[in-house]
Amino acid sequence: MDAKKYKNPTYPYAFPVFALFGIVMALSATGSDDTGQAIALATGGLILVIFSVLMIRTGLTSTRTGLTVRNAFSTKVIPWEQIDSFDLDIFLVIRLTNGKAVRCSAVQPANASHMTGRGYAYRVTAELNAGLANRKAHHES
């Protein structure tokens, strides 16, 4: 099985928008006569640029041996044997056999799809649960 990658499909579009807006904010601080406003614009712009870079970093990779979860500030490698199920909250939630949970910010439902129970995040969750059930069935036989 080849590695399969999952990522919020809106991130490639949101990244340049946030980054550009952040750069424009930071650069507009240089033309401000008010020091407080200049500091606020520069700080806000910098935060947007950093946020957009961290957003691009997120992802979920499924391989034959397990999952690699890349959130904004951490990366976790989880073997299939440690995974109990997948659920969807504001993010994809990976429930582990030891009772703990790992959240994956790369897979999250949009507001409309969260209300209807459809959309990318729901398809990913169903696909991962089906793959996990298949692995468990083959492991038991």
Q: What is the 3-state secondary structure (H, E, C) of the chain?
A: CCCEEECCCCHHHHHHHHHHHHHHHHHHHHHCCCHHHHHHHHHHHHHHHHHHHHHHHCEEEECCCEEEEECCCCEEEEEHHHEEEEEECCCEEEEECCCCEEEECCCCCCHHHHHHCCCHHHHHHHHHHHHHHHHHHHHHC
pLDDT (tens digit, 9 = 90+) per residue, 31-72?
767 788 788 888 888 888 888 788 888 999 999 999 999 998
Residue 3 resides in a domain: no
Q: Are residues 132 and 72 in the same domain?
A: yes
Number of domains forming the structure of the chain: 2
Q: Residue 4: inside a domain, yes or no?
A: no
68 and 96 part of one domain: yes
Judge if 52 and 63 occupy the same domain. no
For residue 113, what pLDDT is reported? Answer: 54
Q: Is residue 77 pLDDT above 90, yes or no?
A: yes
Residue 97 lies in a domain: yes
Instruction: Give the CATH number for residue 99.
Output: 2.30.29
Residue 6, in any domain of the structure = no
- Regarding whether 53 and 64 lie in a shared domain, the answer is no
* Dihedral sign of CA atoms 102, 81, 140, 3 in order: positive
On whether residue 5 sits in a domain, the answer given is no
Range of the domain at 30: 11-57
Q: What is the pTM of this model?
A: 0.76
The torsion angles phi and psi of 88, rounded to 5 degrees, stand at -125, 125
Q: Based on the domain organization, do 47 and 73 belong to the same domain?
A: no
Same domain, 86 and 125: yes
Do both 69 and 133 map to the same domain? yes
